[in-house]
Amino acid sequence: MKDIFLAGEWVQGRGTPSKSYFPADGSLNAVFSTASEEDVQEAIQKAHEAWQQPQWRDSLPMERARILYRVADILEARVDELAALQTRDNGKPLAETRGLVMSAANTARYTAAALDTVDDEFTNQRDKSTLTFSVHEPLGVVAAITPWNSPIASEVQKLAPALAAGNAVILKPAEVTSLIALKLAEIFAEAGLPRGLLSVLPGRGSVVGQAIIDHPLVRKISFTGGTTTGKRIAQIAASRLAETSLELGGKSPTIVFEDADLDIAVNGVIYGIFSSSGQACIAGARLFVQRSIYDEFLDRLVTKAQALRVKHPEDQQCQMGPLINEAHLDSVHAFVEKAKAQGGTILTGGERLLDGDLAKGSYYPPTIITGLQNTDSVCQEEIFGPVLVVLPFEDEDSLIEQANDSIYGLAAGVWTENYRRAWTLARRLDAGVVWINTYKKFSIATPFGGFKESGVGREKGRLSILSYMQQKSIYLGLDAVPNPWCDS
């Protein structure tokens, strides 16, 4: 049975053991121990002690950066092994999990470089007898809580800036993808991170996650996951004024105008919803197509969707792998059944795949649904699977109203050759990210996060390091004579 990583030690967790299965065929990957509430208490106490040690608290940014540069190098050197493990853990195609490992390496390297640009300030003097400084300090113990869909990338997106800022981190991965998180613990230790500053505590959200967020020494909770869980975490954090960063769910609109390059648009829309088998927070799950090209575009869309290769994720030809597990497949399929009940028409897909070896795993085909209203629940709720709803629109105003009619505001995609229109839309859409004539492209230098119920705070970019720090103002008196007030 695999150990957990508690304050720099590999130990058997005292929680109920858990198992990792390969979503492609249900085979067992590993049995691992999970953390108990006592383990959580111990890890947080040790993290609190570790971040205050002079070796860490007084470390120079360049010293912390050196660890992250080494993490980046190790991730890159072990990309094949880590991608294979990630694929076993969550069933994503190998090409995609390689991309996630490289993204994690880029994040670590970018954060290391950016750390050197985070300056403290010698603020302008307002009074000749005082010098004033504004310095940045770490928060203390930070919790990182992550989902299963892009684990290694989202975990390093939290660990790198939090550690760069000088904090200690307790990482609680999604239970189904604990193996890759435990591997990260090994990599950070190998890169020279002092003991106690990182713990990786697998286990159930309701037990391990809850014990972490309830702990008074946890000063920030950086969470990526569902909106319901995020709201609960925000409430608990607010009760003791701990900071939160919340990267939550989405139901992102993609929009195709009649003047779009339809070859580019159709591929972009297909990639936006069906890559990762739709298990992406930013999946373009609601497609709006201008009425004049609606029929033609739908034909092209269905043809492309039917040509996608749903295969075993270790097959180099695979474009779409299995869904994470049977329970999630059932939840995705229930939405399709609901769509039918709401009057929707299934143009393609809509039934789990059971041909040959696909029967062994949780495979679901690309599914396209028409005939619904934007207000129907299937168009409003996050499905987190390969299901696209398509709606026609007449003009820009009615489109904006519908596209923004959602509790979410994570991302949006616009296809048009008219750049004046593209700009107007980009500014009017309620979304943290807007892609124009492209989709799901990322730059680590560009902030990421959601509007409305898709989240609070931003990750990535130089400011991500500052989001794990607090400012302190220091006043240095220059008077050579005593303050006359006491003697007046």
Applying CB under 6 A, among 33, 103, 149, 277 the residue interacting with ligand NAD is 149
Pairing of strands 9-11, 18-21: unpaired
DSSP annotation of 459: B
| Shortest Cβ 366–ligand NAD spacing (Å) | 19
Applying CB under 6 A, among 384, 393, 439, 451 the residue interacting with ligand NAD is 384
| Shortest Cβ 296–ligand NAD spacing (Å) | 31
Binding region for ligand NAD (CB under 6 A) out of 116-124, 167-175, 286-294, 336-344: 167-175
Applying CB under 6 A, among 18, 86, 146, 290 the residue interacting with ligand NAD is 146
| Shortest Cβ 384–ligand NAD spacing (Å) | 5
Cβ nearer to ligand NAD, comparing 382 with 430: 382
| Shortest Cβ 76–ligand NAD spacing (Å) | 23
| Residue 425: exposure state from Cβ atoms within 10 A (0-12, 13-18, ≥19) | buried
Cβ nearer to ligand NAD, comparing 229 with 416: 229
| Shortest Cβ 177–ligand NAD spacing (Å) | 9
Detail the DSSP E strand segments found in 9-167: 9-11, 18-21, 28-32, 121-123, 130-138, 141-145
The H-assigned helical ranges of 315-385 are 326-341, 377-380
Cβ proximity of 478 and 129 under 8 Å: yes
Q: Does 142 bind ligand NAD (CB under 6 A)?
A: no
Q: Does 430 bind ligand NAD (CB under 6 A)?
A: no
Tokens of 143: 């919790």
- Rounded (5°) CA angle 432-250-469: 50
Q: Does 344 bind ligand NAD (CB under 6 A)?
A: no
Per-residue H/E/C for 91-102: CCCHHHHHHHHH
Cβ nearer to ligand NAD, comparing 276 with 367: 276
Applying CB under 6 A, among 33, 210, 319, 362 the residue interacting with ligand NAD is 210
Q: Does 42 bind ligand NAD (CB under 6 A)?
A: no
Q: How many Cα atoms within 13 Å fall on the side-chain side of residue 79?
A: 17
Our CA dihedral for 78, 81, 82, 84, rounded to 10 degrees, sits at: 150
| Residue 480: exposure state from Cβ atoms within 10 A (0-12, 13-18, ≥19) | exposed
Cβ proximity of 249 and 231 under 8 Å: no
Q: Does 215 bind ligand NAD (CB under 6 A)?
A: no
Q: Does 112 bind ligand NAD (CB under 6 A)?
A: no
Q: Does 284 bind ligand NAD (CB under 6 A)?
A: no
Applying CB under 6 A, among 213, 310, 329, 422 the residue interacting with ligand NAD is 213
Binding residues for ligand NAD restricted to 432-471, rule: CB under 6 A: 450, 455
| Shortest Cβ 467–ligand NAD spacing (Å) | 14
Q: Does 151 bind ligand NAD (CB under 6 A)?
A: no
Cβ nearer to ligand NAD, comparing 138 with 202: 202
Cβ nearer to ligand NAD, comparing 61 with 173: 173
Q: Does 172 bind ligand NAD (CB under 6 A)?
A: yes
Residue with structure tokens 């853990």?
A: 89
Amino acid at 282: I
| C-alpha span between 172 and 170 (Å, rounded) | 7
Cβ nearer to ligand NAD, comparing 243 with 382: 382
Residues 6+ apart with CB under 8 A from 198: 5, 8, 159, 163, 168, 169, 171, 185, 188, 189
DSSP annotation of 465: H
| Positions marked catalytic | 158, 247, 281, 459
Applying CB under 6 A, among 14, 66, 232, 360 the residue interacting with ligand NAD is 232
Cβ proximity of 251 and 280 under 8 Å: no
The number of helix segments (H) and strand segments (E) in the chain equals: 16, 22
- Determine phi and psi for 6, rounding to 5 degrees: -110, 110
| Shortest Cβ 118–ligand NAD spacing (Å) | 23
Q: Is the dihedral of CA 177, 182, 187, 189 positive or negative?
A: positive
Q: Give whole-number Cα distances, 282 to 68, 123, 444, in Å.
A: 27, 40, 16
Tokens of 307: 């040509």
Site string for ligand NAD, 239-278 (x = CB under 6 A): --------xxxx----------------------------
Q: Does 155 bind ligand NAD (CB under 6 A)?
A: no
Binding residues for ligand NAD restricted to 92-111, rule: CB under 6 A: none
Binding residues for ligand NAD restricted to 174-203, rule: CB under 6 A: 174-175
| Shortest Cβ 18–ligand NAD spacing (Å) | 11
| C-alpha span between 479 and 488 (Å, rounded) | 17
Residue 249, SS3? coil
Binding region for ligand NAD (CB under 6 A) out of 142-150, 193-201, 371-379, 423-431: 142-150
Q: Does 409 bind ligand NAD (CB under 6 A)?
A: no
DSSP annotation of 317: T
Q: Does 224 bind ligand NAD (CB under 6 A)?
A: yes
| Shortest Cβ 212–ligand NAD spacing (Å) | 7
Q: Contact residues for ligand NAD (CB under 6 A)? A: 145-149, 172-175, 205-206, 209-210, 213, 224-226, 229, 232-233, 247-250, 281, 382, 384, 410, 450, 455
